[in-house]
Amino acid sequence: MSERTEIASLGEFGLIDHLTKNIEIRNASTITGVGDDAAVIDHFGKQTVLTNDLLVEGVHFDLMYTPLKHLGYKTVVVNLSDIYAMNAIPSQIIVGIAFSNRFSLEALEDFYEGVYAACALYDVDLVGGDTTSSQKGFIISCTAIGEITPDKYVKRSGAKKGDLLCVSGDLGAAFLGLTLLEREKNIFRENPGIQPDLEGEDYIVGRILKPEARKDIIELLSEKVVLPSAMIDISDGLSSEILHICKQSDVGCVLYEEKIPIAEETKQAAFKFNLDPTACALSGGEDYELLFTIHQDDYEKLKENKDISVIGYITDAEAGKHIISKGGNRHPLTAQGWNAFD
Ligand code: ADP
Ligand code: MG
């Protein structure tokens, strides 16, 4: 049996102190971190980018198959992904938690182990938070703060006719990982004697439980001196994110099904579940890749990079929003993705 320390034995301040005592400050911009009424941050003339996410047990995550350490890591990563999607560099986070008495000190330690692992990898400081109780379950609020050289931030609204539509990494894997975990959960519920079978599915399961934010892509764009005209991170599925860019930029687009990057592991898993891999990429969520548009002149600078795929181009709004299937047919692009046509 693993140990179980009741939170009540520490009290709120003892708990905060316990969870934050080993914080190492990594950024010069962090002037005051945990321990005062508020944190103090100096961005030295840069502009500040802010985002928040709220995660609720049973709505956004299921602790039956989500280890708390992974949850802590993912909490940070999904927020940092939003900062990167503005072309900014994250520097601080604030994490608030509410939990019922079902949670022990050891459980919260696991969660913070994940939070701190992400802080170390992405070079951000945890500078504050809030700690309270909930009647039921675990609730997490995470705010990320980032910095950007004035006016170098990239909004969703800057895409222009003729720009190329680009995406990082590959898509659809997280959705299939989730589908697999949900299936195993249901099998386990009906027959607790059966152990989950995740054999050979590390890639798709890893993509849902331990996603990464594309810091490397933001660094690459900066190194190659490419400023995207619009950018968004893919949390809800490719089609809905493309539609956000089109709507906010007042443009249309053409997307090529055959250009959508999908990993071999994802295709195999899709076939096992009798799902169309393209539909998983278009409508499945939580990939946390970056979708961005670039001017055609910038194509040369990025074309050697295997982590970036050009998947289509931007048109006038009047031309509409379309996907060209592998069979060469043209279909309207909708947020729901698609019904396997052709
Ligand atoms: P206040 O009552 O003024 O809001 P708190 O007792 O909630 O103060 O917080 C004291 C300090 O501890 C603050 O710096 C706050 O940001 C930090 N803090 C509280 N909860 C957490 C947490 N879960 N993680 C990190 N820092 C926290
Ligand atoms: Mg407080």
- In three-state secondary structure terms, 237 is coil
Pairing of strands 138-148, 47-56: antiparallel
Task: With a cut of 90, say whether residue 195 has pLDDT above it.
Answer: no
Please tell me what DSSP assigns to residue 337: B
Task: With a cut of 60, say whether residue 1 has pLDDT above it.
Answer: no
Neighbours of 163 (CB within 10 A): 25
- CA of 131 relative to ligand 2 center, distance in Å: 7
How high is the pLDDT of residue 199? 84
Task: With a cut of 60, say whether residue 341 has pLDDT above it.
Answer: no
State the ligand closest to the CA atom of 13. Answer: 1
The answer to whether the CB of 36 is under 6 A from ligand 1 is yes
- Residue 234: pLDDT band by 50, 70, 90 thresholds? very high
Of 73-82, 191-200, 256-265, 271-280, the least confident? 191-200
Average pLDDT, the chain: 95
The answer to whether the CB of 131 is under 6 A from ligand 1 is yes
Mean pLDDT of 287-298: 98
The answer to whether the CB of 7 is under 6 A from ligand 1 is no
How high is the pLDDT of residue 340? 45
- CA of 120 relative to ligand 1 center, distance in Å: 20
Q: Pick the residue whose CA is nearest to atom 3 on ligand 1.
A: 37
Q: Pick the residue whose CA is nearest to atom 19 on ligand 1.
A: 130
pLDDT tens digit sequence for 100-114: 999 999 999 999 999
pLDDT tens digit sequence for 158-184: 999 999 999 999 999 999 999 999 999
State the ligand closest to the CA atom of 96. Answer: 1
> What is the SS3 string spanning 78-120?
HHHHHHHCCCCEEEEEEEEEEECCCCCHHHHHHHHHHHHHHHH
- Quick one: CA dihedral 81, 94, 54, 133, positive or negative? positive
How high is the pLDDT of residue 337? 55
Task: With a cut of 90, say whether residue 339 has pLDDT above it.
Answer: no
Burial class (CB in 10 A: 0-12, 13-18, 19+), 96: middle
Residue 124 structure tokens:
């951000």
> Can you spell out the DSSP letters for 269-319?
HHHHTT--HHHHHHH------EEEEE-GGGHHHHTT-TTEEEEEEEEEGGG
- Give the nearest ligand 1 atom to 38 CA: 14
Mean pLDDT of 103-129: 98
| Candidate of 24, 34, 103 to mutate for ligand 1, largest count of ligand atoms within 8 Å of Cβ | 34
Rounded (5°) CA angle 219-118-232? 50
Mean pLDDT of 120-129: 98
Find all residues with CB under 8 Å of 26, minimum gap 6, and list them. Answer: 119, 123, 124, 125
- CA of 130 relative to ligand 1 center, distance in Å: 5
Mean pLDDT of 305-312: 97
Pairing of strands 89-99, 125-133: parallel
pLDDT tens digit sequence for 9-38: 999 999 999 999 999 999 999 999 999 999
